[in-house]
């Protein structure tokens, strides 16, 4: 198949040559903040994770698309990322679950991609210089470079409002009722909660008073995109709820809970994006292999209330916090793990035990 030539440009002027695939935008340019993901599989779940809003995903695994796509693997109704970068695209998928090729999926959702990129070089550059804004496309290289220099990162930007559900909806059943804030919630999270509780998923803009009117037994704070420091109103709602109802947070929800407990956040150089990060549970000393997707983290020694429960063994980043007095806990990584290992799914059982006993204990 003859493809259209394309270029990828970073804001610092670094250029890469490749070929366009997926949707071809009319102006020939897609822009955003470039990050790399080290997962060996699960590209569809990664692409449809709302936490990637405002970002362009570069896959370090060299072959992407080899097992096609299926609606069963969607983590949202559509992709929210700004584009996809791969070394080699598999045109002919081979898997019994597949309903079509990745490229067709991307065209359907008007998502642009660039292939033939030296993703090893790109990854090494991002590791050395941090996540960088930029652009790619089949427009004239000078236009792509100009767009790259004007592109912005995710700092101080609220992406949550754009990815959150506009209306509340319910899933699951059970004798316990959990209200989940949708900051960009993944389908797998809703499924894990729905297998244990009656879940009401509410917009991110829901106030504390509106939430109380739903009479929840517990509150869940979901994952989501962007800079937690730009979400002061959301953090204020969480702070108002602390102590009055048990709370469990994941990823962005973890950062918002930490902020409500007095902590600050900072941006990591190139973030954690992959399915193989080792995390230590400081309470049990158990080591979990975890799936992660975040560019921001809780600042060490900034937590005013509560305690650190988990740490990343690669770089020491805070991976979990808890407060026994306030009956709340959270983790930076993804225990629902879509894609990724299932080592941490016990945390959903821990949340259920908290709701049933009123005590934050191990499971």
Task: Record the pTM.
Answer: 0.96
Give me the DSSP letters along 316-359: --EEEEEETTTTEEEESSBTT-SSS--TTTHHHHHHHHHHHHSS
Q: Has 75 been annotated as catalytic?
A: no
Whether 334 sits among the annotated catalytic residues: the reply is yes
What pLDDT, on a 0 to 100 scale, did the predictor assign at position 362? 52
DSSP state of 169: E
Is the previous residue joined to 164 through a cis bond, with omega within 30 degrees of 0? no
Among candidate residues 33, 45, 251, 288, the one labeled active-site is 251
CA distance 313 to 233: 32
Cα end-to-end span (Å), the chain: 54
Other CB atoms closer than 10 Å to residue 215's CB: what's the count?
A: 9
Per the listing, tokens 């969480």 go with 238
The domains located in the chain, with CATH, are 5-150 (3.50.30.20), 160-357 (3.40.50.880)
Is 251 among the residues known to form the active site? yes
- Which is nearest to 42 in space by CA: 78, 83, 19, 70? 70
Q: What is the pLDDT of residue 341?
A: 86
Per-residue confidence (pLDDT) for residue 363, from 0 to 100: 42
Q: What is the pLDDT along the chain (363 residues), one digit of tens a residue?
A: 789 999 999 999 999 999 999 999 999 999 999 999 999 999 999 999 999 999 999 999 999 999 999 999 999 999 999 999 999 999 899 999 999 999 999 999 999 999 999 999 999 999 999 999 999 999 999 999 999 999 999 999 999 999 999 999 999 999 999 999 999 999 999 999 999 999 999 999 999 999 999 999 999 999 999 999 999 999 999 999 999 999 999 999 999 999 999 999 999 999 999 999 999 999 999 999 999 999 999 999 999 999 999 999 999 999 999 999 999 999 999 999 877 889 999 999 999 999 999 888 754
CA dihedral 274, 190, 33, 79 (to 10 degrees): 110
Question: Could you give the CA distance from residue 262 to residue 164 in angstroms, rounded to a whole number?
Answer: 25
Residues 69 and 105: beta-carbon distance below 8 Å: yes
> Is the Cβ–Cβ distance between 27 and 268 less than 8 Å?
no
Phi, psi of 153 (to 5 degrees): -85, -160
CB-based contact 173:198 (threshold 8 Å):
yes
Name the catalytic one among 45, 319, 334, 352: 334
Question: SS3 helix, strand, coil % of the chain, rounded to 5?
Answer: 25, 30, 45
Burial of 357 (0-12, 13-18, 19+ CB in 10 A): exposed
C-alpha count within 13 angstroms, C-beta hemisphere, residue 149: 6
In whole angstroms, what is the distance from residue 316 CA to residue 300 CA? 9
**CA–CA separation, 293 vs 251, rounded Å?**
8
Can you spell out the DSSP letters for 38-102?
--SS-HHHHHT-GGGTTEEEEE-SSEESTT-B-GGG-SSSS--SSEEE-SEE-SS---TT-SB-H
The C-alpha atoms of residue 237 and residue 124 are separated, in whole angstroms, by 39
pLDDT at 340: 81
Note whether 177 and 196 are within 8 A (CB): no
Strand bridging mode 88-89 / 63-64? parallel
Catalytic residue among 45, 319, 336, 352: 336
Count CB-CB contacts under 10 A for residue 8.
28
Q: How many residues does the chain have?
A: 363
* Alpha helical stretches, state H, 139-197: 141-150, 160-163, 187-194
At residue 290, φ and ψ (nearest 5 deg) are -125, 155
């Amino acid at each position: 198949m003859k493809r259209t030539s394309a270029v990828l440009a970073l804001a610092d002027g670094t250029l890469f040559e490749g070929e366009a695939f997926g949707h071809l935008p009319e102006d020939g340019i897609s822009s955003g903040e470039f990050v790399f993901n080290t997962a060996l599989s699960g590209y569809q779940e990664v692409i449809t994770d709302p936490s990637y809003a405002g970002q362009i995903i570069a896959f370090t695994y060299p072959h992407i698309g080899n097992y096609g796509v299926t609606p069963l693997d969607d983590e949202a109704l559509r992709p929210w990322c700004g584009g996809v970068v791969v070394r080699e695209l598999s045109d002919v998928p081979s898997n019994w679950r597949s309903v079509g090729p990745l490229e067709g999926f991307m065209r359907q959702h008007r998502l642009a991609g660039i292939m033939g990129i030296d993703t090893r070089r790109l990854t090494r550059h991002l590791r050395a210089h941090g996540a960088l804004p930029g652009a790619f496309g089949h427009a004239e290289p000078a236009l792509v470079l100009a767009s790259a220099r004007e592109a912005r990162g995710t700092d101080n930007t609220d992406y949550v409002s754009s990815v959150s559900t506009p209306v509340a909806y319910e899933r699951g059943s059970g004798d316990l009722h959990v209200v989940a804030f949708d900051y960009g919630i993944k389908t797998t999270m809703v499924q894990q909660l729905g297998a244990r509780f009656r879940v009401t998923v509410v917009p991110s803009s829901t106030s504390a008073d509106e939430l109380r009117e739903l009479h929840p037994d517990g509150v869940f704070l979901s994952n989501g995109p962007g800079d937690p420091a730009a979400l002061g109103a959301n953090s204020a709602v969480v702070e108002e709820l602390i102590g009055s109802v048990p709370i469990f947070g994941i990823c962005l929800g973890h950062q918002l809970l930490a902020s409500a407990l007095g902590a600050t956040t900072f941006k990591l150089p190139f973030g954690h994006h992959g399915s193989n990060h080792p995390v230590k549970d400081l309470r049990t000393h158990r080591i979990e292999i975890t799936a992660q997707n975040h560019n921001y983290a809780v600042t060490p020694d900034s937590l005013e209330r509560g305690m650190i429960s988990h740490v990343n063994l690669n770089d020491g980043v805070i991976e979990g916090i808890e407060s026994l007095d306030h009956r709340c806990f959270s983790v930076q990584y993804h225990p629902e793990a879509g894609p990724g290992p299932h080592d941490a799914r016990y945390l959903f059982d821990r949340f259920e035990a908290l709701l049933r006993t009123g005590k934050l204990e191990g499971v």
